[in-house]
Amino acid sequence: MHRGGEPFDYSRRAAEVLRHRFISDLVRALAPRPARLLDVGCSKGQLTLHLAAVPEFVVAVDLSRAAIRAARERLQSGGAGVRFVVADATALPFGASRFDVVVMSDGLHSWQLPAAERRAALVQAGYVVRAGGHAVLTEYLQPGAFAEFVSEVRAGPFQVVAVEYLHDRLWYRVESWFKAVRDWRWVERLFASVPVARLLGRVARLFGRRGSRHICVVARRAATD
Ligand SMILES: C[S@@+](CC[C@H](N)C(=O)[O-])C[C@H]1O[C@@H](n2cnc3c(N)ncnc32)[C@H](O)[C@@H]1O
């Protein structure tokens, strides 16, 4: 039962907001100025909005035309310089070395591609990123699958330079407990609370990588072909 007002916008879930901030801070630290960024699988532009907050050249791609339409609307104010393209991550319509950083956030596995197509998407990312440029990949996985994901990235055209854990497992656990009543106003507030997400993250951190559902891999395109 919804307790009045607008339906909750799930892009406001605090764990997602923190993840998007984490990625955009990381990209900001990696990228030169001005940077050419590619956001693959941009969905409705929630992360793209964060990436566009710095004066960069951003291209955002999604397979879904409806998602691209929604992303364009979301970015209408404050997203100057963002170009939207409907495209498949396994067949990107860009030339070689066009970008400094490619972001595949909740990408390869979330897209539910078979292994061969995940490899193809990594090869495509390697092609469109300049030598010395970076890929930032996040994935929502069981902790037992983290090592395999890192190996998968390592097997592509990138060298893994850092692996980060987002310590958000407890947050997603709490979210699952309250899913049946997610439209209740106080539950919406709980889901949207960044301080609560930070607190749960501090507790989850005590469990190391097992306290995470999201892994973030930072990889660098080899400087020579
Ligand atoms: C889970 S959302 C990720 C949203 C965003 N990147 C984030 O981190 O919050 C996955 C998005 O990838 C898109 N997608 C699925 N398969 C794709 C493919 N093969 N190529 C490009 N985008 C794809 C879906 O349409 C969806 O919008």
38-77 pLDDT tens trace:
999 999 999 999 898 766 789 999 999 999 999 999 888 6
Strand, coil or helix: 60: strand
- Centre of ligand 1 to C-alpha 44, Å, is 9
Pairing of strands 36-40, 214-221: unpaired
Answer whether 153's CB lies under 8 Å from 217's CB: yes
Count of the separate structural domains present in the chain: 1
Whether residue 1 is predicted with pLDDT greater than 50 in this model: the reply is no
Q: Is residue 5 part of a domain?
A: no
How many Å apart are CA 88 and CA 23, to the nearest integer?
Answer: 22
Q: Is residue 150 part of a domain?
A: yes
Ligand 1 pocket mutation pick from 20, 48, 49, 106 by most atoms within 8 angstroms of CB: 106
Q: Is residue 104 part of a domain?
A: yes
What φ, ψ does residue 123 adopt, rounded to 5°? -65, -40
- Centre of ligand 1 to C-alpha 43, Å, is 5
Whether residue 161 is predicted with pLDDT greater than 90 in this model: the reply is yes
Distances (CA, A) of 194 to 14, 66, 151, 163: 5, 29, 32, 23
How many Å apart are CA 70 and CA 93, to the nearest integer?
Answer: 21
Pairing of strands 158-165, 214-221: antiparallel
Range of the domain at 19: 11-220
Q: CATH code at 72?
A: 3.40.50.150
Q: Is residue 225 part of a domain?
A: no
- Centre of ligand 1 to C-alpha 64, Å, is 8
Highest mean pLDDT among 10-19, 44-53, 171-180, 194-203: 194-203
What atom in ligand 1 is closest to the CA of residue 64? 25
Q: Is residue 1 part of a domain?
A: no
pLDDT, mean over the chain:
91
- Per-residue pLDDT, 224: 62
- Provide the pLDDT confidence category of residue 8 given band limits of 50, 70 and 90: low
**pLDDT mean over 142-169:** 97
Q: Is residue 208 part of a domain?
A: yes
Whose CA is closest to 16, among 212, 207, 185, 197? 197
**pLDDT mean over 19-38:** 91
From the number of C-beta atoms within 10 Å of its C-beta (0-12, 13-18, 19+), residue 213 rates as: buried
Whether residue 130 is predicted with pLDDT greater than 90 in this model: the reply is yes
What φ, ψ does residue 90 adopt, rounded to 5°? -90, 0
Highest mean pLDDT among 6-10, 54-58, 77-81: 54-58
**pLDDT mean over 189-197:** 95
Q: Identify whether 195 is preceded by a cis peptide bond (ω within 30 of 0).
A: no
Whether residue 225 is predicted with pLDDT greater than 60 in this model: the reply is no
As a whole-number percent, the residues of the chain with pLDDT over 90 amount to: 78
What φ, ψ does residue 184 adopt, rounded to 5°? -70, 140
Q: Which residue has the higher pLDDT, 222 or 19?
A: 19
From the number of C-beta atoms within 10 Å of its C-beta (0-12, 13-18, 19+), residue 41 rates as: buried
Q: Is residue 6 part of a domain?
A: no
- Provide the pLDDT confidence category of residue 163 given band limits of 50, 70 and 90: very high
